[in-house]
């Protein structure tokens, strides 16, 4: 019997969080090794585990996988969260891509200065409410089913719920004008595996704090300031 997937990243969200979400939604238990020192990171580099010299890295099914999108695609396909045919897979890729674009405005938020954070918060809410959430509201309304693609739970649903909760951390009532998304959030959050991941004590990471930022900067030797979008 194959062992549990092992995730190599920092003890925080970053690019690994979507991988944690998808594994959890699939009901897959996983282990984590947190990078806390430069020496740990260099050991992975020297051992040839990081093909492109970067994390996230996931050890799974005898592979050492890097590149977040490739890892997510593999997990989605392995656990039947990637649609029933090529058309559904194309839609899932399209919706995940859009959600990724929205998440991109949030990913580097913890590394911004206090002044830039306030500017970026406004950008995140504006992009979510004027571009991304209206699109998904229309998809759900036109589709008429409980899920974004077909009539079954998929990677696209997991990814969108993750994004919704991230934006709500910036503005708690951001879904007030989107009834379809409100209902979608409630439905997907009640799926047993997702519900378990949302409960206290799970491997879901909290909002990144100063300790997380300092650890990432130290391990990756980030000596420059991140600028707002």
Do 123 and 41 reside in the same domain of the chain? no
**Do both 185 and 205 map to the same domain?**
no
Q: For residue 228, is it within any domain?
A: no
Same domain, 38 and 16: yes
Residues 138-164 pLDDT 10s: 999 999 899 999 999 999 999 999 999
Question: Do both 10 and 69 map to the same domain?
Answer: yes
Burial of 106 (0-12, 13-18, 19+ CB in 10 A): buried
Tokens encoding 222:
């980030």
Question: The domain containing residue 101 runs over which residues?
Answer: 86-191
pLDDT tens-place string over residues 165-207: 999 999 999 999 999 999 999 999 999 999 999 999 999 999 9
pLDDT recorded at residue 1 = 44
Shared domain for 97 and 161, answered yes or no, is: yes
Q: pTM for the whole thing?
A: 0.95
Residue 102 lies inside a defined structural domain of this protein: yes
Query: Looking up tokens 């997510």, which residue turns up?
Result: 72
Q: What pLDDT does 3 receive?
A: 87
Per the DSSP assignment, residues forming a β-bridge with 57 are 8, 66
Residues 129 and 202 in one domain: no
């Amino acid at each position: 019997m194959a062992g549990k997937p092992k995730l190599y990243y920092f003890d925080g969200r970053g690019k690994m969080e979507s991988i944690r979400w998808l594994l959890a939604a699939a009901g897959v238990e996983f282990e984590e090794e947190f990078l806390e020192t430069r020496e740990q990171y260099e050991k992975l580099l020297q051992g040839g585990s990081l093909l492109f010299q970067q994390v996230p890295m996931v050890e799974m099914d005898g592979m050492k996988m890097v590149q977040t999108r490739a890892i997510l695609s593999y997990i989605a396909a392995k656990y039947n969260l990637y649609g029933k045919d090529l058309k559904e897979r194309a839609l899932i890729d399209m919706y995940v891509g859009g959600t990724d674009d929205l998440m991109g405005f949030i990913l580097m938020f913890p590394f911004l200065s206090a002044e830039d954070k306030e500017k970026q918060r406004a950008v995140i809410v504006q992009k979510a409410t004027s571009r991304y959430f209206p699109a998904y509201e229309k998809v759900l309304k036109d589709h008429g089913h409980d899920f974004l693609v077909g009539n079954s739970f998929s990677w696209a649903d997991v990814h969108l719920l993750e994004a919704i909760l991230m934006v709500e951390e910036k503005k708690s009532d951001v879904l007030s004008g989107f009834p379809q998304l409100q209902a979608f959030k409630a439905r997907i959050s009640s799926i047993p595996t997702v519900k378990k991941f949302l409960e206290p004590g799970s491997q879901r990471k909290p909002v990144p704090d100063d300790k997380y930022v300092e650890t990432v900067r130290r391990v990756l030797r980030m000596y420059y300031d991140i600028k707002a979008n």
